[in-house]
Amino acid sequence: MQTLGAPVIQCFELEDGKYLATEGSHRLTAAKELGLTPILDVIDKLDKDDPDTEKFYVDAKRREIKGLVIVFEPSNLYGNS
């Protein structure tokens, strides 16, 4: 990662300005430890009032409660929509 640079992570954009990664948790952890900010490949923006996407919000909240959230500086995150 130090040679190739920051990882590209697929994610969903949540309405509260947060992102839910669909994969890459180990790469996110390694990037954070190396001081690298990942490149976000935003699959879609999710609507919390949509019954079809409610499960993503529940999953994101579960991860937050368990302390499985990795925080990067928002100004450094960017996505490929």
pLDDT digits (tens, 9 = 90+) for 51-80: 888 888 888 888 888 877 777 765 545 554
Kindly report, residue by residue over 11-36, the tens digit of the pLDDT.
888 877 788 888 888 898 899 899 88
What's the pLDDT score for residue 65? 85
Sheet containing 8-13, strands listed edge to edge, beginning at the edge strand earlier in sequence: 19-21, 8-13, 39-45
What's the pLDDT score for residue 80? 47
Q: The pTM is what?
A: 0.69
